Amino acid sequence: MPQTTLKTLAILNTKAPYSSTAGKDALDIALIFGSFEQPVALFFQGEGVRQLISGQDGSMINVKDYLKTFAAFEFYDIEEIYVCQTSLAQRGLVDDFHIDGVQVLNRQDFAQKLTAQQTILRF
Amino acid sequence: MTTLHIVRQSVFNSDDFSQCIQVLGINDVITFIDDGCYNLQHSLISTIDKSLNIQLTVIEQHANARAIAIDENIIAKITMKDLVTLTFANNTVITWQ
């Protein structure tokens, strides 16, 4: 039997949560890959870092609050979640996230982790 | 003659807000809505020429949904209904989006 190795997938989130469907689309892809036990790593950069900030509530503006679903990552074995420290700092944000297990990486480490994945989808 | 500037984009994503600041007139009004609320967290807001007496407003619901703190000493919280009133109270409206 030939050995098959699973390809690693990175999902790069670069958009704020509520003004486009990019974040929700990225989440759907992540959960689909997770449910088929494919290795997925999530990256948050630029305005995408806002998806992780606690205290948000999309229901106030009649947007389905998909951010709450982030809490399910562990059930899909999605454990690699990286956020760009530079992007947080540029926005005056601190590492107050609404999920656990988020790793804050400096620009260099973030780039290194991201480009180490075999496939990268940007949203 | 005053203008209502409706800012919908984050300065972290586009230079709409920078362009808006460049064309402000005396007693103009800026309303931050949607992702424009993120501009409250950017230093660009402090570069607005104070001598122009610009009235800064934000849709409270939009800022709260995004967990953005509002400093009421600088910016007034308004509703969508208030925004409609502002469109009538000013001579022209520019939507920055």
Q: What is the reported pLDDT for A3?
A: 65
Judging contacts by C-beta atoms under 8 Å, the chain B residues touching residue A96 are none
User: Do A54 and B41 make contact, defined as CB atoms within 8 angstroms?
Assistant: no
Judging contacts by C-beta atoms under 8 Å, the chain A residues touching residue B38 are 16, 47, 50, 91
Does residue A9 contact residue A42 with C-beta atoms inside 8 Å? no
Does residue A65 contact residue A59 with C-beta atoms inside 8 Å? yes
User: Do A47 and B13 make contact, defined as CB atoms within 8 angstroms?
Assistant: yes
Could you say which DSSP state residue A105 is in?
E
Can you read off the two tokens belonging to residue A19? 């003004």
Residues 5-34 of B with CB under 8 A from A: 8, 10, 12-13, 34
Place of tokens 């709409």: B16
Can you read off the two tokens belonging to residue B64? 């709260």
- How many CB pairs below 8 Å do chains A and B form together? 47
CATH number at residue B61: 3.40.1260.10
What b/e sequence results for B49-87 when a residue is b if at least 16 CB atoms lie within 10 Å of its CB, and e otherwise? eeeeebbbbbbbbbbbbbbbebeeeebeebeeeebeebe
User: Do B35 and A16 make contact, defined as CB atoms within 8 angstroms?
Assistant: yes
Q: Mind listing the domains of chain A with CATH numbers?
A: 9-122 (3.40.1260.10)
Nearest-by-Cβ selection for B67 from A19, A54, A92: A54
Query: Dihedral of the CA atoms A20, A26, A28, A34 (nearest 10)?
Result: -170
How many Cβ atoms are within 10 Å of A12's Cβ, its own excluded? 20
Strand partners, A40: A9
Q: State the nearest Cα–Cα gap between B28 and chain A, in angstroms.
A: 26
Could you tell me the pLDDT band of residue B90, with boundaries at 50, 70 and 90? very high
Strand partners, A119: A9
Could you tell me the pLDDT band of residue A2, with boundaries at 50, 70 and 90? low
Dump pLDDT digits (tens) for A79-111.
999 999 999 999 999 999 999 999 999 999 999
Q: Average the pLDDT over B41-59 and give the result.
A: 95
Q: How many domains does chain B have?
A: 1
Count how many Cα atoms sit within 13 Å of the Cα of residue A79 in the half-sphere of its side chain: 3
Q: What is the reported pLDDT for A1?
A: 55
User: Do B65 and A47 make contact, defined as CB atoms within 8 angstroms?
Assistant: no
Could you tell me the pLDDT band of residue A19, with boundaries at 50, 70 and 90? confident
User: Do B41 and A55 make contact, defined as CB atoms within 8 angstroms?
Assistant: no
Q: Average the pLDDT over B14-23 and give the result.
A: 92
Interface check for B69 against chain A (CB to CB < 8 A): the answer is no
Range of the domain at B38: 3-96
Q: What is the DSSP string of A16-38?
A: -SSSSSHHHHHHHHHHHHHHTT-
Dump pLDDT digits (tens) for A27-79.
999 999 999 999 999 999 999 999 999 999 999 999 888 999 999 999 999 99
Judging contacts by C-beta atoms under 8 Å, the chain B residues touching residue A54 are 67
